[in-house]
Chains A and B, each alone.
Chain A
Amino acid sequence: MNTDYKNAARRHYEDAEILFNRLRWANADQLYGLAAECGLKAMMVGLGARTKSSGDLKKHSVHINKLWNEFMTFANGRNGAKYVGYLSSNNPFQDWDVSQRYAKTSEFHHRGAPPHPRVSPHQAAATIVKKMLQQAQSDGLV
């Protein structure tokens, strides 16, 4: 299957929102991280990062807990700077890991309505990446 970071970013975010609203914290969290990763990778392609014929990035094969800071280093010059300012210089996905998919549901236990102490900051950060993608789409970059 070919890679389409833009399309995948939108799908992961939308599905994360559905899970979040049903208080399905664990998988919502997983998908916010994947949405942000695909979003930043779509941005990097738009900013000129090299890709394989499959559409995958040649470098940066990491998840969002590492990719956030890699993006900060990658983006440079007038085009990149427009987007760096969107993102917090402290990586909000530092405490996110793709291996969470093996974790027990109770690890994400939270009584009652949002905000969820772990998931809500990831939701906020993924939402900012989404806004940045909208900007980049209007700009003609992605």
Chain B
Amino acid sequence: MIIRFQKALENAIELVKQHYADLGGLPVLLVRDLYGRIRIALPIEAPTDETTQPDDFAALFRQALGHFSYQSVFLYRDELFDSDALFNSRDKITISKTPHIDLLDRQITGQDWLRQPIASQTGIQRVTLFGIKGGVGRSTALAVWAWYLAQQGKRVLILDLDLESPGIGQTLLPESNAPDFGIIDWLVEEAVEQADESLLREMVGTSPLVSSAIGDIRIVPASGIQEKDYIAKLSRAYMELSGADFAERLSRLLQALEKQEKPDIVLLDSRAGMHDIAAITITRLNAYALLFALNTPQTWRAYRLLFQHWQKYPPNLALFRDNLKIVAGMVPEIDRAHYLESCRESAYNLFMDTLYDKTSNEVEEAFNFDEKAIDAPHYPLKFYWHRAFQEFDPVSNNEVFNENAVLEAYGTFLKEITNLVLGNKLA
């Protein structure tokens, strides 16, 4: 029988539990490599006497894991290059307390979904706008909200982190206002240690769409106005440097920009889908995370795939789960009430099955909400589909920000989200 990927880890855990005492009763570290193959790392020297090796166990283990096992099931301390780095890795996840079993899951991408948030020194409010699928009106909502905040006298800083499909910069900046550099430039220049202050200053442009005297929208686009080498830069952008993973580099960039711009609020336009950029902007930058959704089965199914990962490996979930909020995007004109009710129900089921604690309400700190609790993460904020916001191009058609259209489509959304994020800080 062929053992598939997901079964291999289950079988490994089961076997280790059954034979825990035979393995020496020490904490067991399962190491799953880039291929998905699993070994057991033991903090002891390899036995010299062959008869003392737990051969029976190794044979069972190989059988239970098939192609996802190694010929040498054990990885002993003296075979390692840096045993501390392995046994004390920050990516180690405890998957069973008694007996004690840890997992070190080596991945090519996606490690950020489970890593700890990075502390911010500026304390400036950040909001991530994310859609598990595209076409949910995320970038338009971001532009309208930024405009609204600026009209209210707020300084808004926007980062276009949708590097594979950039756009918000062009949406809000006419060519004459576009800066010479973008986020992509900072990433390649920082890798060779020349992301200096002048680069940072020339990465930001001011949107002319705001008529408020105090507020403004400052935008950091993905690329500069003269860009001709975008793919060459993009294909190097995700470099991890010794001592700083990609998320830590993004955090450095963000803090440097916050110090330079001193905004009241930062809006991060995240890339759609389960990409590392999304993992970082949702879980690692201490941002309030708006999760945009259309009420379709494929949307909820995709969110479920993501949430199940957090459910299965929850070591840092409590550090960001309070920041999650569903947004029902482009709610259709017909039968809105029914649509929203169905949307809320789907979101509730998603959270109930995955992230909400299964304990009763008597436990005070339980992460659990009533289906109709307005402040619950699953309870959707909403904005409506509106003809005026199709082919959205405010730079050439400023009319789009006429009060009525904005109020009709986004009125409730703007009030609720602003109140939620800035509270009474709004003048």
Which A residues contact B (CB, under 8 angstroms)? 9-10, 39, 78-79, 81-82, 84-89, 128, 130-131, 133-135, 137-141
Given known pairs A138-B31, A139-B106, A140-B106, the reply for A87 and B242 (CB within 8 Å) is yes
In the complex, whether B33 has a CB less than 8 A from a CB of chain A is yes
A9 to B82, CA, bound (A): 12
In the complex, whether B366 has a CB less than 8 A from a CB of chain A is no
In the complex, whether B55 has a CB less than 8 A from a CB of chain A is no
A15 to B300, CA, bound (A): 57
Q: Are A138's CB and B106's CB within 8 A?
A: yes
Of all chain A residues, the one with the shortest Cβ separation from B241 is: A85
Chain B residues with Cβ below 8 Å from A88 are 242
Of all chain B residues, the one with the shortest Cβ separation from A83 is: B240
A128 to B242, CA, bound (A): 9
Interface residues of B in 103-146 (CB under 8 A from A): 104, 106, 108
Which of B34, B75, B82, B106 touches A130 (beta carbons < 8 Å)?
A: B82
Chain B residues with Cβ below 8 Å from A10 are 81
Given known pairs A85-B239, A85-B241, A134-B86, the reply for A140 and B81 (CB within 8 Å) is no
Given known pairs A82-B108, A134-B80, A134-B81, the reply for A141 and B239 (CB within 8 Å) is no
Which of B34, B75, B191 touches A141 (beta carbons < 8 Å)?
A: B34
In the complex, whether B21 has a CB less than 8 A from a CB of chain A is no
Interchain Cβ contacts under 8 Å between A and B, 30 examples: A9-B81, A79-B34, A79-B108, A81-B238, A81-B239, A82-B108, A82-B240, A85-B241, A85-B242, A87-B242, A89-B191, A89-B192, A128-B242, A130-B81, A130-B82, A131-B81, A131-B82, A134-B80, A134-B82, A134-B83, A134-B86, A137-B80, A137-B86, A138-B89, A138-B106, A139-B34, A140-B33, A140-B35, A140-B37, A141-B34
Q: Which of B35, B75, B85 has the most CB of A within 10 A?
A: B85
Chain B residues with Cβ below 8 Å from A85 are 239-242
Interface residues of B in 40-85 (CB under 8 A from A): 75, 80-83, 85
Of all chain A residues, the one with the shortest Cβ separation from B193 is: A89
Count of chain A to chain B residue pairs whose CB atoms are closer than 8 Å in the complex: 56
Chain A residues with Cβ below 8 Å from B83 are 134
A128 to B82, CA, bound (A): 10
A139 to B109, CA, bound (A): 12
Chain B residues with Cβ below 8 Å from A86 are 242
A78 to B108, CA, bound (A): 8
Given known pairs A82-B108, A140-B34, the reply for A134 and B85 (CB within 8 Å) is yes
Chain A residues with Cβ below 8 Å from B34 are 79, 139-141
Interface residues of B in 261-281 (CB under 8 A from A): none
* Closest CB in chain A relative to B37 CB, distance in Å: 6
A3 to B34, CA, bound (A): 25
* Closest CB in chain B relative to A73 CB, distance in Å: 14
Of all chain A residues, the one with the shortest Cβ separation from B41 is: A138
Chain B residues with Cβ below 8 Å from A141 are 33-34
Chain A residues with Cβ below 8 Å from B106 are 135, 138-140
Q: Closest 5 CB pairs between A and B?
A: A140-B33, A134-B82, A133-B81, A134-B81, A85-B240
Q: Are A138's CB and B86's CB within 8 A?
A: yes
A47 to B83, CA, bound (A): 22
A89 to B236, CA, bound (A): 14
A86 to B241, CA, bound (A): 6
* Closest CB in chain B relative to A8 CB, distance in Å: 12
Chain A residues with Cβ below 8 Å from B238 are 81
A64 to B34, CA, bound (A): 28
* Closest CB in chain A relative to B30 CB, distance in Å: 11
Given known pairs A138-B31, A140-B106, the reply for A84 and B81 (CB within 8 Å) is no
A102 to B82, CA, bound (A): 31
Q: Are B81's CB and A137's CB within 8 A?
A: yes
Chain A residues with Cβ below 8 Å from B240 are 82, 85
Of all chain B residues, the one with the shortest Cβ separation from A85 is: B240
Of all chain A residues, the one with the shortest Cβ separation from B246 is: A85
Chain B residues with Cβ below 8 Å from A39 are 81
